[in-house]
Amino acid sequence: MFGACLSLVGCTQKAAPAQAEDPTVRLSLPRGVELFVDGNSVGSPPIGPLALEVGSHALRLVTACGEHEATLEVKPGDNEVSAGAFDGLGVATLRVSAKDLEGKSLSPTSRFGDVPFEGPLEVAACPARLKVESEGLGAYWEDLEPGPGDTIVRDVVLRPGSEVVRIHGGPFRLGPPGPDRYDPDYYPEYKPFTYHTDEEKAELGWPEFQRFDVEVATFEIDRTLVTAAQLTACRESGGCPEDIRRSMLGEPMKLEPCTTNIYERTLVEGRGDHPANCVAVLEAKDYCAWRGMRLPTEAEWEFMARSRDPQNMCPWGGRHDDRTLDHTCLRGEERKRLAARKDTLTFPVCSLSDATTQQGVCDVTAGMSEYVTMLELEGRTLEPGRVRHRIEPQPFEHGTKGLGFQGPPAVEPALFAPLWQRRVDEAFRCARTVEGGQ
């Protein structure tokens, strides 16, 4: 063997050339985005390491509120890409916990937009809807608008009954949008009052609408009207006695019976998903208390019903000069469906999309008026010549409201509701104030 080194001492060997490491790209990106590399989608996080060639690559990140680009120079070995590589991309963190009414911790299923998650979640700072739910309890909804760097913490209480929606508060003008005075030519079929004589009409003129500037605190409210099945569950648990006896001014009082017409009643077999009707204010208050809630105030209800915009005529929007609107706020096929009711007075909850607010609250114009707690508002009057779209809160504490149930959407009345009276056209939902307004 010529040329071989036979000695164990003094021989040297040349090392083999080092092999370049295959490049890998590890990603640390927020959830709820889609990543494109060189124009091709590689999916949404979590995404495993990418095998890319050495060199320059164009990255594009698509979020719910825009697109962000970056250039990646891939080198041999490990490469990392984080949210900071993308110009203008903001990241927020969500932390959600849940418990029941007794304070027991739950393991909920949470979702932000289309992203399911457990534990802390980093997301692109874009608006999306948070949903938290646990089996056997009503879910929690909230529309969030996280900013870059925000950490949003929600300690949610899940309750029996309907899903609840958190409504962020703010300043609001309570009362109908549109002109300052009633226009009889605009709503020719609606007669909110009658003048007894032409002289009285000439003296008073067309009535003014009353409006009040209020500050609405952040609150939570049932997504749907309380259903017949939910009220029945409360009664079966003992939390909602059917025959409530109370006293007013020292006199015993019994709740009024409701209609025996099966067409109109919902507390009958087969209509468990319909709004509970033939329920008195006293019964509604007991049901809400059973869930750790209360009836909404008239300001909370209208703030919710107009999707937080005092210029909205209807839950979905609409302005006062839209003459295609009728008193239901329903359009097209849904308006025909309401007019064609034959077998029942009501619909299953959340079955009319035009009766749903922009925040997801259902049944706002689904043919039922709703119980509310009246407010003491400075300047509210019932003097002749004013549209009586609200009733003085004293001595009456509760009323009913509805966008257009007693007239066109612009009038939006609130009428006195006796505590003991049961009616087929009145329903309710529950609300609660959010402590700290988080």
| DSSP string across 148-187 | TT-EEEEEEE--SSS-EEEE--EEEEES--S-SB--TTTS
Q: Where in the chain is the domain with CATH 2.60.40.1120?
A: 91-158
* Cβ atoms of residues 213 and 263 within 8 Å: no
Mean pLDDT of 268-286: 86
Please say if the pLDDT value at position 148 is more than 70: yes
Architecture of domain 91-158: Sandwich (2.60)
Q: Record the pTM.
A: 0.79
More confident of the two residues 210 and 50: 50
Band (3; pLDDT cuts 50, 70, 90) = very low
* Cβ atoms of residues 162 and 138 within 8 Å: yes
**pLDDT above 70 as % of the chain:** 72
What is the per-residue pLDDT for 6? 36
CA distance 257 to 332: 37
Tokens 């690559």 found at: 57
Band (389; pLDDT cuts 50, 70, 90) = very low
Band (387; pLDDT cuts 50, 70, 90) = very low
CATH superfamily of 24-85: Immunoglobulins (2.60.40.10)
Take residue 55 and report the two structure tokens written for it.
């060199």
**Reported CATH class of domain 172-438:** alpha beta
pLDDT per residue as tens digits for the range 209-235: 678 899 999 999 999 999 999 999 998
CA 87, 89, 90, 91 dihedral sign is: negative
Please say if the pLDDT value at position 437 is more than 80: no
CA proximity to 176, closest of 164, 187, 189, 188: 187
**Is-cis flag, bond preceding 395, omega within 30?**
yes
SS3 287: helix
More confident of the two residues 127 and 243: 127
What is the per-residue pLDDT for 31? 94
CA distance 372 to 374: 6
Residue 115: strand pairing partners: 112
Q: Where in the chain is the domain with CATH 2.60.40.10?
A: 24-85
